[in-house]
């Protein structure tokens, strides 16, 4: 299949804005972008009076090596949120094509759809008591039912899912990709992929043009404040996304930080830290299950735990009183008694457990 067949027809050949840096011209005297010729007094020597590269070659090469993918399959964005927004606008025409999500799930998929005017189709995850499960058959049925109104053009699969913590096995992803081939794009959001020991969706990407994978440096690579996400997909689709992206999506300081953060030594340290978080996750989950007032602790492949309480309001307020902030999930469908707890350092986790006890 040609993935461009899924893209809005009016955007397939769209060239986007031709910024001063997009031309690829080189020189020693820069008079083409209306920049200040002098750095700011606050500039720490990074040349911030000049616009940065839209897609810095050095960082793209390093990220491509990190993920084991060709460079032309990779687009860098301001966090994964921007990747979600670009994909939604690229594939869905307002009120004519829909986005499918699987609640309870990360809210930005539906937010981006609403801003674009795209209908949202919801197929809830299945609560099996100890874990939440992605229901491929239910998703495929919903896809068929949507055709009469607004056909689903874009499916978001959060794996590991936020806030439930469960990853979707690659065998299930393949069933989904085959089932929607030629009709919809599947976007697998692997923001927490470093905490999951499975192969992940990137292993499938070369064989499925209708698969996009989202990664981020915000979690395991500890650069949440730098805002750098990665969209990995078919080169033809990546070119369209780059055309509609803002002209200068990445700041020079963020790029410099990211280059250091994904260098081989730093990447190795990120893996070691992810392993420590996984060990802490299992320790905390075991201790939580032994506490009075805890109804359920769900299995997790991420750096957090979803926990049901007999009185979630009292627990939330008590933790705040102890200076501990967790994520209230009670507004999410089916989670009226649940809180999401990020796994912190051993000392932070001990403080949480002491407050709960």
Q: What is the DSSP string of 66-101?
A: HHT--GGGEEEESHHHHHHHHHHHHH--TTTSEEEE
Report pLDDT for 349: 98
Phi, psi torsion values for 37, nearest 5 degrees? -75, -15
d(CA 177, CA 161): 18
DSSP per-residue letters across 120-143 = EEE-PPEE-SSSEE--HHHHHHHH
Q: Does 257 lie in the same domain as 191?
A: yes
Same domain flag for 25 and 159: yes
Residue 149 has a pLDDT of: 87
Closest C-alpha among 249, 237, 246, 250 to residue 90: 237
Does 255 share its domain with 286?
A: no
* Distance, CA of 104 to CA of 295 (rounded, Å): 18
Last residue of a domain, one of 262, 286, 316: 262
Q: Which residues are bridge partners to 127 per DSSP? A: 132
Quick one: pLDDT at residue 18?
82
Produce one character per residue of 147-171: b if its CB has 16 or more CB atoms within 10 Å, e if not.
Answer: eeebbbbbbbbbbbbbbbbbbbebe
pLDDT tens per residue across all 357 residues of the chain: 799 999 999 999 998 888 877 777 888 898 888 989 999 999 988 999 999 999 999 999 999 999 999 999 999 999 999 999 999 999 999 999 999 999 999 999 999 999 999 999 999 999 999 999 999 999 999 999 988 889 999 999 999 999 999 999 999 999 999 999 999 999 999 999 999 998 899 999 999 999 999 999 999 999 999 999 999 999 999 999 999 999 999 999 999 999 999 999 999 999 999 999 999 999 999 999 999 999 999 999 999 999 999 999 999 999 999 999 999 999 999 999 999 999 999 999 999 999 999
| CA-closest candidate to residue 134, choices 110, 106, 104 | 104
**Spatial contact of 143 and 186, defined as CB atoms under 8 Å apart:** no
Q: Do 115 and 198 have their domain in common?
A: yes
Q: How far apart are CA 215 and CA 112, in angstroms?
A: 18
Looking at the fold, whether 74 and 121 belong to one and the same domain comes out as yes
Residues 303 and 245 in one domain: no
Q: What is the CATH number of the domain that holds 273?
A: 3.90.1150.10
CA distance 75 to 68: 14
Q: Are 315 and 339 in contact (CB under 8 A)?
A: yes
Final residue of a structural domain among 208, 232, 262: 262
- Residue whose structure tokens are 């320790």: 283
- Of 262, 281, 307, the residue that ends a domain is 262
Q: Are residues 159 and 14 in the same domain?
A: yes
Three-state secondary structure call for residue 309: strand
End-to-end CA distance of the chain: 56
Distance CA 293, CA 185 (A): 42
Tokens, residue 31: 């008079």
Q: What residues does 75 pair with on adjacent strands?
A: 231
Q: What are the distances in angstroms from CA 20 to CA 24, 52, 74, 280, 319?
A: 8, 10, 22, 48, 51
Question: Do residue 51 and residue 135 come from a single domain?
Answer: yes
Number of structural domains the chain divides into? 2
Task: Tell me: do 202 and 304 sit in the same domain.
Answer: no
- Compute the chain's Rg from CA coordinates: 22
Domain that holds residue 149: 3-262
Verify that 178 and 42 share a domain, yes or no.
yes
Question: Do residue 30 and residue 69 come from a single domain?
Answer: yes
CB proximity list for 101: less than 8 A, separation 6 or greater: 109, 110, 113, 120, 121, 122, 123, 156
| 108, 168: one domain | yes
Rounded to 5 degrees, what angle do the CA atoms 117, 119, 125 make?
135
Quick one: which of 74, 69, 76, 32 has its CA closest to 50?
Answer: 32
Please write the tens of the pLDDT for every residue from 235-274. Answer: 999 999 999 999 999 999 999 999 999 999 999 999 999 9
Model confidence over 276-323: pLDDT tens digits? Answer: 999 999 999 999 999 999 999 999 999 999 999 999 999 999 999 999
Please report, for the domain that includes residue 69, its CATH number: 3.40.640.10
In sequence order, the 6+-apart residues with CB closer than 8 A to the CB of 127 are 334
């Amino acid at each position: 299949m040609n993935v461009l067949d899924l893209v809005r027809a009016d955007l397939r050949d769209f060239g986007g804005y031709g910024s001063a840096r997009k031309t690829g011209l080189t020189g020693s005297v820069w008079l083409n972008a209306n920049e200040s010729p002098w750095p700011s007094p606050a500039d720490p020597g990074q040349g911030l009076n000049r616009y940065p590269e839209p897609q810095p070659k050095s960082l793209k090469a390093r990220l491509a090596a990190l993920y084991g993918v060709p460079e032309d399959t990779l687009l860098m964005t301001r966090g994964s949120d921007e990747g979600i927004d670009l994909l939604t606008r690229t594939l869905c025409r307002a009120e004519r094509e829909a986005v499918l999500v699987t609640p309870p799930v990360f809210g930005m998929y539906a937010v981006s759809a609403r801003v674009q005017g795209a209908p949202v189709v919801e197929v809830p995850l299945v609560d099996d008591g100890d874990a939440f499960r992605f229901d491929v058959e239910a998703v495929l049925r919903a896809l068929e039912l949507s055709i009469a109104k607004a056909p689903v053009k874009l499916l978001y699969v959060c794996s590991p899912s936020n806030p439930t913590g469960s990853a979707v096995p690659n065998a299930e992803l393949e069933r989904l990709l085959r089932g929607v081939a030629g009709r919809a794009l599947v976007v697998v959001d692997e923001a927490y992929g470093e905490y999951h020991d499975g192969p992940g969706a990137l292993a499938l990407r070369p064989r499925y043009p209708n698969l996009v994978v989202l990664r981020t440096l915000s979690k395991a690579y500890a650069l949440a404040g730098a805002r750098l996400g990665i969209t990995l997909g078919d080169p033809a689709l990546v070119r369209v996304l780059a055309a509609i992206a803002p002209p200068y999506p990445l700041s020079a300081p963020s790029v410099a930080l990211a280059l250091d953060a994904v260098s081989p030594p730093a990447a190795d340290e990120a893996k070691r830290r992810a392993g420590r978080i996984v060990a802490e996750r299992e320790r905390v989950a075991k201790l939580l299950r032994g506490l009075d007032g805890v109804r359920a602790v769900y299995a997790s492949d991420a750096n957090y735990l979803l926990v049901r309480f007999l009185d979630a309001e009292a627990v939330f307020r008590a933790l705040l009183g102890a200076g501990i902030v967790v994520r209230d999930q009670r507004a999410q469908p089916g989670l009226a008694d649940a809180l999401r707890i990020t796994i912190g350092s051993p000392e932070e986790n001990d403080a949480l457990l002491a407050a709960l006890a």
